[in-house]
Structure 1
Amino acid sequence: NLDELNPEYVLKHIHDNLIVSVEGAIYYVGAYALSSGQRCRSITVGVDNDKVSSDIVYVNTLAHIAGEAVAACYRESGAVPDTGDAIKVHVDMATAIPVSYYTKAKAAAFAEKFMHKQHKVTVYVGAKEYVVFIQFDFVKAIPEGVTAAHAFMHRPTLIHQPENLSAGKFKTLRVLHIAIGEGTTEFPITTGISFRPDFIMGSHNGNGHAIERVLAPFKRDFGLQSLTRQDFSRYLRDAAHKYHDAAISYFMPALEDEAEEILTMAEQVISRANNEVDVVAVYGGGSILMREALEKRLMAFCMRAKIELAYIDDPSDAVFLEAEGLNAFINSPLFQLLGDKARSGEKG
């Protein structure tokens, strides 16, 4: 019952309590959707993982921006905002799409999806309804991998480079990225912050595939009526959960198969590049649980090829690295220049 929710609590934890209306439909978003007991839609694992045309990506983006706008009003005033006046937001946004799917045309289409009109979002905070109008002034979509390259330029120690690495030296650094997600793994090669268009391979590998393979037997063996991929993922993450140990025992053999395929693909990419790679960087949410199955074998290959391996240590860095890179990009002179060009009608 929304009437019983404390508006102040919701506003302080808005991204975990998102209920919005977009284009006439009501959505529970993110953590609130998962805890609602309702059937959830998520990005599919596999060949249909098209983030450019996905309504889930579109709605999630609008919902979080609108929710943050309402929460910002609360933080600035120190009181629950009135619902009378609409909140108007202007947004410059940097985002990324999978490098194996990336083309300039698709990036432009994704940006235009947000920029072509003003968006109206209603945010529900308890019994209160806030109308938020969102105007995207400039959106730039870049390839995943390039996002991480911006993070590495900002924090070169992540990939075992000197903290004071010069811009000139970074510009020549050749990095093979192994970005392991839920359903896809990307293998771009970047030189500095530029990606090589002839090395934009991706594969349908990740934790989600391993989970999909064990979901049915796990459900059957433990007599669970319903079990989603997200539920199983939660068992894996929560060491205190009663199903944690069992979930790990079902999951690891399937994950090792995923790691084997990722290793094979990485070896093929490096061989195709004639070993002309300085660093292999492994990151992404899927890299954390896969570390035990992948790191030693990848290290052995890299040592033979005389390539540095940087398997991102901190789980928080592994998960948020691309977001950190987007943040570095959006605060860079380059983003400002691209925005100025777009606003003046130039192509760039």
Structure 2
Amino acid sequence: MKKEKITILHKIGGRLMPKAPKTKKVHLLVANDNGNSEQALYVNGELIRQPNVYVRPTKKDFFRDIDAAKLVPTLLEEINVTISSKAIRRNRQYYIGKKAIKSEYTPKNMDLKIEKKYSSDLPIINTTGTLAVKAVQIYFEQYKEIPKELEVTVDMVTALPVKQWSPENSSTFSKRFTENQHIITVHINNVDVLVKLDFELVKVAPEGSPSLFALIDDGNGNYRNDDIFEDFNKLYGKKIDGQYIETKTVGHIDIGDGTTDFPITKGFNLEDSFVHGCNHGVGHAIDQAIAEFLNDDKKAVLTKVTRQKFSEYIKDETNQYHQDAVESLEAALENEADFIYDEFIKVLSAVDNEIDLVVVYGGGSIVMKEQFYPLLKELCDNLNKKLLWIPEKYAALMNVDGLKVILDTMLDDLKMEKV
């Protein structure tokens, strides 16, 4: 190693590490899917998934007898921040994601009946808090020290439900990030890091349309060609790849927690003349199921049954409440499946049935497949349409995967649009 290079390195644990600069800076490239149940983000290429909830603690957190540096690697599971930003109503301390779920407080999630994502504080709180923590982790990984202050810049692509998306709402949502500096104090045991978060670019797409990029492109500029099409190939006796999708008029059914979106696409283009969505999804079914589930004197002791907690009962077959939760949910899912089916019939009618392929995805498609697939398959067969039901391993991440493709391949173009 040349002598002049050694001066900018320092030794940690027997290895030469970059010496921390005087001005501490991190730049983040973010693809952000703010789901009603789960937030999924790619931050500098790394996937982060967490419950999309927060709490406002009223007591001081307990300090553990451990060096703060040892807590940094697991910081995303213990997000404890104080946020000061003009973009939100209350500047105060928040626990976010997994820490909120584990806390003694009742988590706050999106109110599916009255809240709009572009005007809600939750996406701002959870996005800025999570990005501040991740920036601290990235800095620590590079320099092996916790900074006292950190300047963070962000380029981000995100989305709104189709029914809420408009140029005006998109601009409102974007400006809540870009027109405010967000001051985040990240609490790591008894150590605080002051993070100044500035969003340089925020592009807001209608949910559903980014998924098209994930279907067509493999993320490396080639047509996608993997097991995402395996069930389709077996069902119809043909082998397809992303190029097939690019040539079709596609009717999307993106089943989420609080909404279901029905964008129509041709190639890479969204048919702006018809954009439709409805306020139905798994979250509404879970809300109905929770009410039925709690209508039992034996469960009177349960006071914190959120959608996230109820989902845990459903997934964990060993949980004492699993069977009751499943039974409560099945009937509610049938109702929601019927609602979504009726809405899709309206979509077909509005576009004169001019759809080649129906694609179904979203986290809700996993939970609702038993109730919804038979209805939709019969409809597609009768109308001579083909059905691509995205496998479970990909379904919940289609939007964020598509946003990542957009971020990776179109960032320079998006920056030019801003100019």
Using structure 1 for the length normalisation, give the TM-score.
0.90
Tell whether 2:63 aligns with 1:3: yes
- One-letter amino acid of the structure 1 residue matched with residue 300 of structure 2: L
Q: What secondary structure, in the 3-state scheme, does the structure 2 residue paired with 1:3 have?
A: coil
Q: Is the 8 A contact 1:83 1:128 kept in 2?
A: no
Give the Å deviation of 1:282: 1.0
Give the Å deviation of 1:8: 4.7
Moved over 6 A (4+): none
- One-letter amino acid of the structure 2 residue matched with residue 182 of structure 1: D
Tell whether 2:339 aligns with 1:261: yes
Q: Is the 8 A contact 1:145 1:190 kept in 2?
A: no
Give the Å deviation of 1:247: 0.5
Give the Å deviation of 1:5: 6.6
Q: State the alpha-carbon separation in 2 of the partners of residues 122 and 292 from structure 1.
A: 45
Tell whether 2:99 aligns with 1:32: yes
Question: What residue in structure 1 maps to residue 146 of structure 2?
Answer: 82
Give the Å deviation of 1:245: 1.4
After superposition, where does 1:264-343 map in structure 2 within 5 Å? 264-314=342-392, 316-332=393-409, 334-342=410-418
Give the Å deviation of 1:330: 0.5
Q: What secondary structure, in the 3-state scheme, does the structure 2 residue paired with 1:198 have?
A: coil
After superposition, where does 1:147-162 map in structure 2 within 5 Å? 147-155=210-218, 156-157=224-225, 158=228, 160=232
Partner residue of 2:330 out of 238, 252, 261 = 252
Cα-to-partner distance string for 1:287-313 (whole Å, 9 max, x where unaligned) = 111000011110110111111111111
Question: What residue in structure 1 maps to residue 51 of structure 2?
Answer: none
Question: What residue in structure 2 maps to residue 212 of structure 1?
Answer: 287
Q: State the alpha-carbon separation in 2 of the partners of residues 9 and 260 from structure 1.
A: 50
- One-letter amino acid of the structure 2 residue matched with residue 255 of structure 1: L
Q: State the alpha-carbon separation in 2 of the partners of residues 10 and 294 from structure 1.
A: 44
Q: Is the 8 A contact 1:177 1:282 kept in 2?
A: yes
Structure-2 change in CA distance of 1:230 and 1:170 (3 Å): closer
Q: State the alpha-carbon separation in 2 of the partners of residues 303 and 246 from structure 1.
A: 35
Structure-2 change in CA distance of 1:165 and 1:246 (3 Å): closer
Q: State the alpha-carbon separation in 2 of the partners of residues 18 and 28 from structure 1.
A: 6
Question: What residue in structure 2 maps to residue 92 of structure 1?
Answer: 155
Tell whether 2:184 aligns with 1:184: no
Cα-to-partner distance string for 1:237-273 (whole Å, 9 max, x where unaligned) = 2222121111001110111111111111112212322
Partner residue of 2:319 out of 211, 221, 241 = 241
Q: State the alpha-carbon separation in 2 of the partners of residues 8 and 275 from structure 1.
A: 59
Question: What residue in structure 2 maps to residue 17 of structure 1?
Answer: 78
Give the Å deviation of 1:231: 1.6
Q: What secondary structure, in the 3-state scheme, does the structure 1 residue paired with 2:397 have?
A: helix
Question: What residue in structure 2 maps to residue 41 of structure 1?
Answer: 108
Q: State the alpha-carbon separation in 2 of the partners of residues 76 and 5 from structure 1.
A: 25
- One-letter amino acid of the structure 2 residue matched with residue 67 of structure 1: V
Q: What secondary structure, in the 3-state scheme, does the structure 2 residue paired with 1:199 have?
A: coil
Partner residue of 2:197 out of 121, 134, 142 = 134
- One-letter amino acid of the structure 1 residue matched with residue 79 of structure 2: L
Give the Å deviation of 1:340: 2.3
Structure-2 change in CA distance of 1:147 and 1:165 (3 Å): closer
Q: Is the 8 A contact 1:187 1:199 kept in 2?
A: no
Gaps of 5+ in 1: none
Instruction: Report which of the two structures shows the higher radius of gyration computed on alpha carbons.
Output: 2
Q: Is the 8 A contact 2:248 2:267 kept in 1?
A: yes
Give the Å deviation of 1:335: 3.1
- One-letter amino acid of the structure 2 residue matched with residue 270 of structure 1: L
* Range with bigger deviation, 129-138 or 207-216: 207-216
Give the Å deviation of 1:228: 2.3
Give the Å deviation of 1:18: 0.5
How many correspondences in the alignment?
Answer: 335
Q: State the alpha-carbon separation in 1 of the partners of residues 266 and 332 from structure 2.
A: 34
CA RMSD in angstroms, aligned pairs only: 1.9
- One-letter amino acid of the structure 1 residue matched with residue 359 of structure 2: A
Q: State the alpha-carbon separation in 1 of the partners of residues 321 and 257 from structure 2.
A: 20
- One-letter amino acid of the structure 2 residue matched with residue 36 of structure 1: S
Q: State the alpha-carbon separation in 1 of the partners of residues 65 and 180 from structure 2.
A: 33
Identity %: 30
* Range with bigger deviation, 216-225 or 206-215: 216-225
Give the Å deviation of 1:101: 1.3
Q: State the alpha-carbon separation in 2 of the partners of residues 198 and 149 from structure 1.
A: 18
* Range with bigger deviation, 117-126 or 191-200: 191-200
- One-letter amino acid of the structure 2 residue matched with residue 209 of structure 1: H
